[in-house]
Amino acid sequence: MSNDIKYHIGFGREDLGENPPTITLLCGDPERARLIAEEMPEVRLEKGLSTKRGLHSYLAALPDGRRLISATSGMGAPSLSIVVNELFDLGIRTFIRVGTCGSLQPEVRVGSVVISRAALCRQGAASDIAPVEYPAAANPFLTVALVEAAKKLKADWHIGITASVDTFYEGQERTESSANKHLLRRLVGINEEYRHLNILNYEMEAGTLFKMAGVYGFAAGCVCAVIAGRTSSEEVVLEEKRKAEKNAIAVALQAVMEMDTEYLQPKYWR
Ligand code: URA
């Protein structure tokens, strides 16, 4: 492990001090990474690490003294793959994606949270890392910790399969709100198809994160706030967004505070 500053994320091993963290909460949106580090009552901000390329990241601590990084992955799998690669090289071995998503099932309401147990990975970046057939599976121990946390917080939660795709518009069958009204034939009806495959939600990063976890040997989980109800609309429900995001963050933090980290080591799940 080198002490050099990592090219994309803009910080290095020395910025993490003694007893460096091994856990990262990873958000697509830099504002959510800031929210975790600066506004969640259970988190004490130690310092900002970088704002390079809009990849805002923060070093923070929990009440038990455990340290973590709140980091931005950027939108989509190519950016996430770079950030995760560099954080792994700095010693991060547990990644929890805290994201937002669109629901594909009527019972998964806007405002609830979805914990991904696996992903249908329709993502180009993942194909540079593992074969398309390689499973995109969340870490089972971390996933159970997220469920236990959601139960404890009495969140409106769901667990299931997530569809991770590369585009917000075409790939999630948006036409009314998209500049491109023309969908490729293979994408027409994809939402209905996924609904019948019991896929709960759409998002844009978890599948690649899960495949990287399998290949690199780290633990990965994902909890997403539902901000669009795709059974009835294409729109993001902005009024619900902040509250739903905070619910997803609270679930992730509670899981980190309560989980038995012993079982996150690869020897228990490889
Ligand atoms: N993120 C997505 O990828 N899709 C949505 O509908 C909402 C958030």
**Cα separation values, 13 from 51, 80, 87, Å:** 16, 19, 9
Catalytic residue among 174, 203, 240, 245: 174
**Within a domain: 6:** no
**Within a domain: 88:** yes
Confidence of residue 67 (pLDDT cuts 50, 70, 90): very high
Tell whether the model's pLDDT for residue 222 goes beyond 80. Answer: yes
Q: What is the DSSP letter of 109?
A: -
**Within a domain: 4:** no
Chain segment 159-173, per-residue pLDDT in tens = 999 999 999 999 999
Total count of domains within the chain:
1
pLDDT of residue 270: 87
**Within a domain: 5:** no
Q: Which atom of ligand 1 is nearest to the CA of 102?
A: 6
- Please give the distance, rounded to the nearest whole angstrom, from the Cα atom of residue 180 to the centre of ligand 1: 17
The number of helix segments (H) and strand segments (E) in the chain equals 6, 9
**Within a domain: 144:** yes
**Within a domain: 2:** no
Catalytic residue among 32, 97, 117, 230: 230
* Token pair listed for 108: 């998964």
**Within a domain: 7:** no
Q: Which atom of ligand 1 is nearest to the CA of 165?
A: 3
Tell whether the model's pLDDT for residue 247 goes beyond 60. Answer: yes
Tell whether the model's pLDDT for residue 2 goes beyond 90. Answer: no
**Within a domain: 244:** yes
Query: CATH number of the domain that 91 lies in?
Result: 3.40.50.1580
Q: What is the DSSP letter of 61?
A: E
Q: What are phi and psi of 196, to 5 degrees?
A: -70, -20
Q: Would residue 196 show up in a list of annotated catalytic residues for this protein?
A: no
Structural domain including 44 reads 13-268
CB of 226 sitting under 6 A from ligand 1? no
Tell whether the model's pLDDT for residue 15 goes beyond 90. Answer: yes
Q: Would residue 186 show up in a list of annotated catalytic residues for this protein?
A: no
